[in-house]
Amino acid sequence: MSAVGVDYELMRMQYGDLPNVLKNERRSYSHPWTEGIFVDCLNSGYECWLFVLEGRNVGHSILSIAAGESHLLNVCIHPDFQGHGFGRALVEHMLYRARSGGARTVYLEVRTSNKVAYSLYEGLGFNEVGVRRDYYPAFVGREDALVLAKEILPVD
C-alpha 1/C-alpha 103 separation (Å) is: 32
**Selected catalytic residue, list 8, 46, 107, 121:** 121
- Residue 86 sits in a domain whose CATH number is 3.40.630.30
Question: Up-side HSE of residue 105: CA atoms within 13 Å toward CB?
Answer: 10
Look at 12-16, 117-121, 135-139 and tell me which has the smallest mean pLDDT: 135-139
At residue 68, what are phi and psi to the nearest 5 degrees?
A: 80, 5
- Is 54 in the active site? no
Is the model's pLDDT at 149 over the cut of 50? yes
Residue 107 included in any domain:
yes
Domain count, the chain: 1
Residue 139 included in any domain:
yes
The residues, ordered by sequence, that sit 6+ positions from 143 with a Cβ below 8 Å of its Cβ are 111, 112, 113, 134, 135, 136, 137
Residue 115 included in any domain:
yes
Look at 96-105, 117-126, 137-146 and tell me which has the smallest mean pLDDT: 137-146
- Is 107 in the active site? no
Residue 132, number of CB atoms within 10 A of its CB: 12
C-alpha 48/C-alpha 138 separation (Å) is: 26
The boundaries of the domain holding residue 112 are 8-151
Confidence of residue 44 (pLDDT cuts 50, 70, 90): very high
**Selected catalytic residue, list 35, 69, 92, 109:** 109
C-alpha 94/C-alpha 75 separation (Å) is: 9
Residue 14 included in any domain:
yes
Task: For residue range 81-119, list pLDDT tens digits in order.
Answer: 999 999 999 999 999 999 999 999 999 999 999 999 999
C-alpha 102/C-alpha 66 separation (Å) is: 8
